[in-house]
């Protein structure tokens, strides 16, 4: 691949991956993770190293000093609130927190890419390696983009990868257009009036509205002609009153995840869900309040960027798989693809590999080299890596 990914590089970043796995940090708390990455990146001598970007993010800039495109590669940093059941030596040291989405492996791939760039530079423009916090909550990308320090980066092109269990190990999975779904968490609080359970007529229980609401939300995607593509509403939690057999409940909460392949459909779904809540509130005389959390835009892959990914797979001798369908899960990388030309691609973790977010998941180190090679060959097409520096 022109610039060798040596055994020393792989040994170093695999060790870093396992160190990051031992000490995972949740979204918004990636303080020690960021410091480990800062120390590692400082050794790679980037032209600029931006820290505390969008809270705990970092960006290493490798600059040619000449006019040209700016291409950004992004990896995520945060872990999940999941108890690890694995017993290997690099298992999580923290109870109830572990890297079950493979972000430790994504950081290792980016770290390996930085080691290749240490003794090279782009012939034109610059390469930016972004370590982004808070992906799991959907807040990190937006915070990075809104940070004044990011205004000096202004990428023309953006790329990221995500490991995908269920696909051939080391295969690259691509799709032009919508790659990952938009989603948002909807929280509906209902307030009626409690009373004694012996006299429910003296109160105003939200139970009937609650049941109609859950059924109605799930039926919105079935409306003919309302949406352009896939739409789904999943009820993920519901609570009515408290456990008190002498009380007719006066309050309730319904939580649902809204999911679409297109941002325009999310706007429609958002509006229709709100109309349903208002209609049922009026019908049952129950006060309602709606809030949203964990909002992810759709990740839409640009045609030109997707083409560069295909070419990089060919250059590196990697199996290329074209996905016919958009993935239903969400990624906050969509904030970047909505502002710059770019693409997210999958990296196969193995057909029988444990699924993401499972308590026994661990990132497969064998795919690190492929990830590094893909990033290198994508960058080389856009800014041409100078191997003679």
> Containing domain of residue 41, as a range?
7-180+299-386
Quick one: pLDDT at residue 386?
80
One domain for residues 351 and 282: no
CATH number at residue 371: 3.40.630.10
Quick one: pLDDT at residue 2? 42
Task: For residue 316, tell me if it sits in a domain.
Answer: yes
Q: Are 78 and 26 in contact, with CB atoms under 8 Å apart?
A: yes
Give the domain-ending residue among 232, 262, 296: 296
Per residue, the 3-state secondary structure of 20-71, as one string, reads: HHHCCCECCCCHHHHHHHHHHHHCCCCCEEEEEECCCEEEEEEECCCCCCEE
**Same structural domain for residues 218 and 342?**
no
Can you give the pLDDT at residue 4? 80
Return the pLDDT at 388.
58
Is 2 within a domain?
no
Indicate if 311 and 246 belong to the same structural domain.
Answer: no
pLDDT at 1: 44
Domain co-membership, 65 together with 170:
yes
Give the model's pLDDT for residue 178: 97
* 39 and 141 fall within a common domain: yes
* Within-domain flag for 257: yes
Instruction: Examine the domain organization and report whether 77 and 153 are in the same domain.
Output: yes
Do 289 and 342 fall into the same domain?
no
Please identify which residue in the block is written with the tokens 């509006």: 271
Q: Confirm whether 318 is domain-assigned.
A: yes
Both 133 and 159 in one domain: the answer is yes
- Half-sphere exposure of residue 316: CA atoms within 13 angstroms, side-chain side: 29
CA distance 99 to 22: 9
Task: Give the closest residue to 310 by CA, choosing from 175, 164, 181, 116.
Answer: 175
| Residue 150 sits in the same domain as residue 74 | yes
Q: How far apart are CA 355 and CA 361, in angstroms?
A: 6
**Per the structure, how many domains does the chain have?**
2
Q: Are residues 269 and 205 in the same domain?
A: yes
Q: Decide if 324 is inside a domain.
A: yes
Domain assignment present for residue 1? The answer is no
**247, 267, 296 — which closes off a domain?**
296
Give the CATH number, domain containing residue 252.
3.30.70.360
Overall pTM surpassing 0.85 (yes/no): yes
CA-closest candidate to residue 187, choices 295, 94, 98: 295
> Do residue 210 and residue 166 come from a single domain?
no
Helix (H) or strand (E) holding 138: none
Structure tokens at 374: 């893909």
- Of 296, 311, 345, the residue that ends a domain is 296
Asked whether residue 267 is assigned to any structural domain, the reply reads yes
Q: Which residues of the chain have pLDDT under 70?
A: 1-3, 387-389
Both 48 and 131 in one domain: the answer is yes
């Amino acid at each position: 691949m022109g610039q060798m990914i040596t055994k020393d590089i792989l040994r170093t970043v695999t060790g870093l991956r396992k160190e990051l796995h031992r000490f995972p940090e949740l979204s918004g708390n990636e303080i020690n993770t960021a410091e480990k990455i800062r120390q590692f990146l400082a050794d790679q001598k980037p032209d600029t190293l931006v820290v505390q970007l969008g809270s705990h993010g970092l960006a290493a800039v490798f600059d040619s000093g000449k006019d040209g495109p700016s291409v950004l590669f992004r990896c995520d940093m945060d872990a999940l609130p999941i108890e690890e059941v694995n017993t290997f030596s690099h298992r999580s040291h923290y109870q109830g927190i572990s890297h079950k989405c493979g972000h430790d492996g994504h950081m290792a791939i980016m770290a390996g890419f930085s080691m290749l760039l240490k003794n090279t530079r782009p012939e034109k423009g610059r390469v930016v390696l972004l370590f982004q916090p808070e992906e799991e909550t959907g807040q990190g990308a937006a915070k990075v983009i809104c940070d004044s320090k990011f205004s000096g980066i202004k990428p023309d092109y953006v790329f990221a990868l995500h490991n995908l269990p269920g696909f051939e190990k080391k295969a690259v999975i691509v799709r032009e257009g919508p790659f990952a779904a938009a989603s948002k968490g909807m929280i509906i609080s209902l307030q009626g009036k409690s009373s004694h359970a012996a006299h429910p007529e003296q109160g105003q229980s939200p139970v009937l509205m609650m049941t109609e609401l859950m059924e109605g939300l799930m039926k919105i995607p079935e409306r003919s002609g309302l949406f352009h593509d896939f739409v789904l509403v999943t009820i993920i939690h519901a609570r009515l009153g408290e456990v008190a057999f002498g009380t007719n409940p006066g309050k309730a909460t319904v939580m649902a995840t809204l999911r679409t392949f297109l941002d325009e459909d999310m706007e429609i779904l958002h509006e229709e869900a709100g109309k349903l809540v208002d209609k049922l509130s009026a019908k049952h005389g129950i006060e309602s309040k709606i809030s949203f959390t964990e909002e992810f835009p759709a990740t839409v892959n640009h045609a030109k960027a997707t083409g560069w990914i295909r070419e990089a797979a060919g250059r590196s001798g990697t199996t290329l798989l074209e996905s016919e369908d958009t993935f239903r899960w969400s990624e906050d990388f969509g904030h970047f693809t909505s502002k710059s030309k770019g693409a997210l691609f999958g990296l196969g973790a193995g057909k029988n590999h444990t699924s993401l977010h499972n308590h026994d998941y661990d990132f497969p180190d064998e795919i690190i080299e492929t990830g590094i090679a893909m990033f290198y060959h994508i960058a080389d097409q856009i800014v041409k890596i100078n191997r003679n520096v």
